[in-house]
Structures are given as structure tokens and as C-alpha cells.
Structure 1
Amino acid sequence: MRFLWPLLLLFSLGLSAQVRLEVETLGVNTSEGFICVALYTEEEGFLKFDRVYRSERAPARQGVTRVVIDDLPSGEYALAVFHDKNSDEVLNTNWLGIPKEPLGFSRARMKAFGPPGFRECAVLLDTDTTIRIPLE
């Protein structure tokens, strides 16, 4: 039993590991505004602004903009990124709900009739990771 405690301690420390996520947003067509990254942990709340687990933003840079999120617990996340060109902190849409600002997702692209689902976008983060997301 004495040998089991160190193993349990190491296992519990591994569960709470913190990772660094770097999101490289590709295809940024102007340096106006911000690139906003939203992380989601639940399928039910995916793409709902009030259900974002964590978010970060960085000033837009034409070409590639990097957004870094430190001290993120290991786990499964789905990412949504958008170019907030007018800096109003909202993804602007037209009257049909179609985005007017460029956006992108981890591991998936927009579909003909809407955004991808959580499972299509989900990535497991258990080490420091860089994810490249093209804007559409």
C-alpha cells in the first residue's frame, strides 16, 4: 500500500496539468480590429456566447495572427475564431444570421447550411499545442 500513494499522487497531478495553447489564425485580410478565440467544453453550449469556457483576443495582423492562451487545464475543447473587424466584441451577422465577419473553427469548416458541431471541432489538449485555423 505504501507504494500505491506515490502513484496516486502522480496520477492526480497529471489530471490537473496546465497547457499552453497557441492559435495561429490564417488568412487575416486586414490589421483592423481583433482576432477573438472562444473555447468550448460542452456540446450543448457550443457557439453560444454565454457558454464560452474561456476566451482571448489579440490585435489583428494581416496574414497570420497569433493568440496565446496559457494555463489551460488538459481536456477536450472546440474552438471558434472570428475577426472582429469593427472591435465591437460581437460576431456581426446579417438579418438571416449569416456571419458578416470572417470566422473559422478547429478541425472543421463552415457547412453549406451552418456551422460545424462540437464533435467535429473537438481537440484533445494534453500538451502545449499550436493549432492553425483558417478564416472563411
Structure 2
Amino acid sequence: MAAAGPRATACAAAEAPAGPRLQVTVTGARKVAGNITITVYGPRPEDFLARGGRLARQRILLQGSAAEACFALSEAGDYAIAVYHDENNDHDFNRTLIGTPAEGYGFSNDAPALIGLPSFEAVRFAVPVGGSQMTIRLRY
């Protein structure tokens, strides 16, 4: 039987695993409106940005130009993060008529998305047993 793989929840959740903590700070919001949606992915490249591939997601009400979230992880290992500024709070990453982002976005390691989405290799980072911090700057 295959291992279940890593799990993640909000640190304050009753079912939060006792493993490492991942503190995520998102900076650079262009206006105080809506929420910052932070999504954590595990070590499988095929899960990154795939429907149903996330380990956990938090929506943080934006009260300033930055937002913070804490994720409780079940184990140390490789993870990836994608964030977006859901300015209109519709729980959707809005795009313009030509398909470019209409809302701010970012990725772990501040991986650039100049043409298309960054690769899993560009956003992957290791979380040690003692936990980790990641700061991501929004791009518009």
C-alpha cells in the first residue's frame, strides 16, 4: 500500500498535524481589497496548479498591503506555493479578455512568470523539520 503523502492545514485547525510549520508572507498588494489566496502543493510536479492537486488553501482577508498565513505540515520535504490577490473576492483568479492576469499573483521563490507559468522546479523549495518561512511578492 502506498504512503498517503504529505498533508497540510491551517496551523490553527483542530486537525493540524504536529509536523513543521510553514509561515507564508505575501507582500505588494496594490490596494486593500478582497483577499489573498495562498495555495500549498506537495512534492509531485504533476499536482502543481492542477485541479485537485493542492494540499491546502487559505484565503486571508486583506487588511493592509501584506498578508500572512501559517500552514501545519505533516512532514518535512519539498513543497510549492501559488498565491493571488482576489481583489473582488469572487474566489476566482480573474483574467483579461486576452487571457493575461487581471489580479496580482506570485509563486514560491518569487519565481518569474514572464511567458506562461513557472515550472515546478522553479517554485519548489524544501521545508526542514524545524519549519520554514517564505515571502512572496505579488506581481501585477
Shift of 1:118: 0.7
Residue 60 of structure 1 pairs with residue 69 of structure 2 = no
Structure 2 CA distance for aligned equivalents of residues 105 and 123 of structure 1: 11
Q: CA RMSD in A?
A: 1.8
TM-score by length of 2: 0.77
- CA pair 17-62 structure 1, distance change in 2 beyond 3 A: closer
Structure 2 CA distance for aligned equivalents of residues 55 and 88 of structure 1: 15
Shift of 1:20: 1.1
- CA pair 134-31 structure 1, distance change in 2 beyond 3 A: same
Q: Which residue of 2 aligns with 1:131?
A: 134
Between Structure 1 and Structure 2, whose CA radius of gyration is higher? Answer: 1
> Percent of counterpart pairs with the same letter?
27
Q: Which residue of 2 aligns with 1:39?
A: 40
TM-score by length of 1: 0.79
Which residue identity does 1:113 align to in structure 2? I
Structure 2 CA distance for aligned equivalents of residues 28 and 132 of structure 1: 13
- CA pair 84-72 structure 1, distance change in 2 beyond 3 A: farther
Q: Which runs of 5+ in 2 are unaligned?
A: 1-16
More helix by share: 1
Q: Which residue of 2 aligns with 1:110?
A: 112
Q: Which residue of 2 aligns with 1:100?
A: 102
Matches within 5 A, 1:65-84: 65-84=67-86
Structure 2 CA distance for aligned equivalents of residues 96 and 50 of structure 1: 26
Structure 1 CA distance for aligned equivalents of residues 99 and 127 of structure 2: 31
Aligned residues: 121
Which residue identity does 1:21 align to in structure 2? L
Structure 2 CA distance for aligned equivalents of residues 59 and 128 of structure 1: 24
Structure 2 CA distance for aligned equivalents of residues 84 and 111 of structure 1: 18
SS in 2 for 1:63: coil
- CA pair 72-61 structure 1, distance change in 2 beyond 3 A: farther
| Deviation readout 1:65-91 (Å, 9 max, x if unpaired) | 111112443221110011111111111
Conservation of the 8 A alpha-carbon contact between 1:28 and 1:61: no
